[in-house]
Amino acid sequence: MADSPARGRAAPFEIGGIEVPRGQRRTVDLPAAKLYTHTPLSMPVQVVRGWREGPTLFVSGVIHGDELNGVEIVRRLLRHSVLRRLRGTLIAVPVVNIHGLIQHSRYLPDRRDLNRSFPGSDKGSLTARLANLFMEEIVERCDYGIDLHTGARDRANLAQIRAQLEDPETLELARAFGVPVLLNSDLRDGSLRQVAAERGVRVLLYEAGEALRFDELGIRAGVVGILNVMRKLEMLPPAKARKRPRPEPVVARATGWVRAPESGIVRHTVALGGRVEKGQRLALIADPFGERESVVISPWNGIVIGRSMLPLANEGEALFHIARFRDAERVEERVNEFQDTYEPNHSTVVME
């Protein structure tokens, strides 16, 4: 992987009109649309360049404005001492969707989804212009990318990597990240991954936690995962040998959502990351008096990789996201080991 062509090798490296020499670190504010008040907004970017040649990697957070884990993952990544030994270039963008972050909203003020608006246009909508800025200033300078996400509002996701796993190099990087579950995810029209792939940039999408919340386990795993990928790309020196080898992640055969059969008050009976069997009860839905009750049943064997966190549901609402595996018991063991490793009270995981 070290022989991969790197757009960022040639010196000088310039972004947003600011030159970043080798061995230096610079913070760049990329101008975005102003607020009504004439207050300027900018997309904050930090560029870290090693002394030696190597790939160029971007790490991005808050493409959806209410998905906050990425902000903290990027902060901890940039504070890590191992970056002093960096080869190549790291471009860190903790907040892409500035407007959404300010408004605590997934979307921009024009109600468009940034992750369905790439590659954008400098003459299009507000969302299209932000997408165009990110593509021209960030993605087109890179060889690889890691895009950080969480579940939507009131939904939590198990730590997972979504990527185009038919590509052998992308699969290698996804395995290196170190989460137990990998999803072979189709490229959606207008998504960052789709447009980046068209430009030859391999992107991993990391999901963990829920919107508008910091999830400490997901943050810890995200930082370590990015460092693992950078080591795989030989941007960082190899890590010390582990006493126990990291469990191999497993690629899900398929995934599907289980929906509420009727409206009511929900009592979940399966936790995020739990193993389920076909026909198993996942939740009970009742009216406020408990006079009428229905059971939510799993149609598959698998692992719960996403779950509604609200104890309320409307008929047809997505409640459980289940990844199907041939050996769900083995995957459950890996999920449990992963969670034990990254639990906040686990002293062996040091992020800073």
pLDDT digits 0-9 by tens, 240-294: 877 666 778 999 989 999 999 999 999 999 999 999 999 999 999 999 998 899 9
In this structure, the answer to whether residues 189 and 261 fall within a common structural domain is no
d(CA 18, CA 83): 21
Identify whether 64 is part of a domain.
yes
d(CA 153, CA 19): 39
Identify whether 351 is part of a domain.
no
Identify whether 51 is part of a domain.
yes
Which of 141-145, 160-164, 208-212, 342-346 shows the lowest mean pLDDT across its residues? 342-346
In this structure, the answer to whether residues 156 and 38 fall within a common structural domain is yes
Confidence of residue 9 (pLDDT cuts 50, 70, 90): very low
Average pLDDT estimate for 33-41: 91
Average pLDDT estimate for 88-111: 97
Identify whether 1 is part of a domain.
no
As a whole number, the mean pLDDT across the chain is 93
Identify whether 332 is part of a domain.
no
In this structure, the answer to whether residues 260 and 226 fall within a common structural domain is no
Average pLDDT estimate for 119-131: 97
Identify whether 243 is part of a domain.
no
> Domain range spanning residue 278?
254-324
- Chain centre to alpha carbon of residue 207: 4
Residue 54, H or E segment: strand 52-60
pLDDT at position 243, please?
65
pLDDT at position 349, please?
53
- Asked which of 232, 265, 282 is the last residue of a domain, the reply is 232
Q: Which of 315, 316, 318, 320 is nearest to 298 (CA)?
A: 320
In this structure, the answer to whether residues 114 and 211 fall within a common structural domain is yes
Average pLDDT estimate for 70-98: 98
In this structure, the answer to whether residues 169 and 267 fall within a common structural domain is no
pLDDT of residue 231 exceeding 70? yes
In this structure, the answer to whether residues 112 and 75 fall within a common structural domain is yes
Tell me how many domains the chain contains. 2
pLDDT of residue 4 exceeding 60? no
d(CA 51, CA 3): 17
Identify whether 341 is part of a domain.
no
